[in-house]
Amino acid sequence: MRKQKQSGQSIVEFAIILPFLLLLIIGMVETAFALRSYLYVNTACREGIRFAARGRYTDADTARWMLASGGYTRLNNQQVPFFRTTDPEPNTGIIITRIPIQANGNIGQQVRYITGTITLASGDDVSTVHLSENDSRVAREVNIARHRDETIAINQQRVAQGYEALDNQVVVVEVFYAHRTLWNYEPLGFPRVLNLYSRSVMRVVSDARQTQ
């Protein structure tokens, strides 16, 4: 009789713990997939800034290599690119911004290459729209004044050593990625889509672009 009571108590305790255990396992799986996506996004951003800063490739070529860096995945029993700017289910947007800085520190007109989409989620509504210039975070988060001051300081050193002053250029690569969760958690108040973002900034000297 005592063994039966202990067995029944264990079953009740397990039944109480089971929902929390399942939530923990699901959370771990979701976190792992989200981290995987974020690593892919960071890798694509690093690859993009390496190509964009060389000056020998067009921004369109750079974007294609960035998209190819994610490899392939399966979607609806089909093999599709991990990063997609078009159907099926586009999930990636790329903005490459070039900011010229003259030798005297004057900042020129920014030039942007934009491709792909950004996903907007509000409640049960998930919509995909084309990425636009307004989605760029460069104006808010990139300290252009610091790069201008560094350009002036570098040119002052060059002139003092007998070299000519050089124009400069700052390249900013931004990647927007819509990570869709494995399961729908909207009843629990969690979004269906997590918008991941990565940005890389690199300074390019004009003579480096000309000689490569």
What is the average pLDDT score of the chain?
A: 87
Q: Which residues contact 127 (CB under 8 A, 6 or more apart)?
A: 119, 120, 121
Question: Is 90 exceeded by the pLDDT of residue 42?
Answer: yes
Asked whether the beta carbons of 195 and 34 are under 8 A apart, the reply is no
Task: Give the pLDDT band of residue 200 (cuts 50, 70, 90).
Answer: very high
Where does the pLDDT of residue 50 fall: very low under 50, low under 70, confident under 90, or very high at 90 and above?
very high
Is a pLDDT exceeding 50 seen at residue 212? no
- The crossing angle, in degrees rounded to 10, of helices 2-52 and 59-68 is 160
Position 211 scores a pLDDT of: 43
Look at 57-71, 93-107, 123-137, 144-158 and tell me which has the smallest mean pLDDT.
123-137
Residue whose C-alpha is closest to residue 92's, from 200, 196, 201: 196
pLDDT band at residue 205 using 50, 70 and 90 as cut-offs: low
pLDDT for 189 beyond 70: no
Quick check: 207 pLDDT over 50?
A: no
pLDDT level of residue 121 (50, 70, 90 thresholds): confident
Percent of the chain having pLDDT more than 90?
Answer: 54
Cβ pair 166, 205 in contact under 8 A: yes
Instruction: Find how far residue 90's CA is from the centre of its chain.
Output: 14
Q: Give the tokens for residue 207.
A: 């003579």
Residue 123 has pLDDT above 80, yes or no: no
More confident residue, 8 or 141: 141
pTM: 0.85
Separation between Cα atoms, residue 83 and residue 68, nearest integer Å? 7
What pLDDT is attached to residue 8? 63
Structural tokens at position 90: 């586009």
- Check whether 5 has a pLDDT greater than 70: no
- Which of helix, strand or coil describes residue 162? coil
Tally of CB atoms within 10 A around 173: 28
pLDDT band at 186 (very low <50, low <70, confident <90, very high): low
Compare 181 and 80 and report the one with higher pLDDT. 80
The pLDDT value recorded for residue 110 is: 93
Q: What is the dihedral of CA 102, 107, 112, 118, to 10 degrees?
A: 140
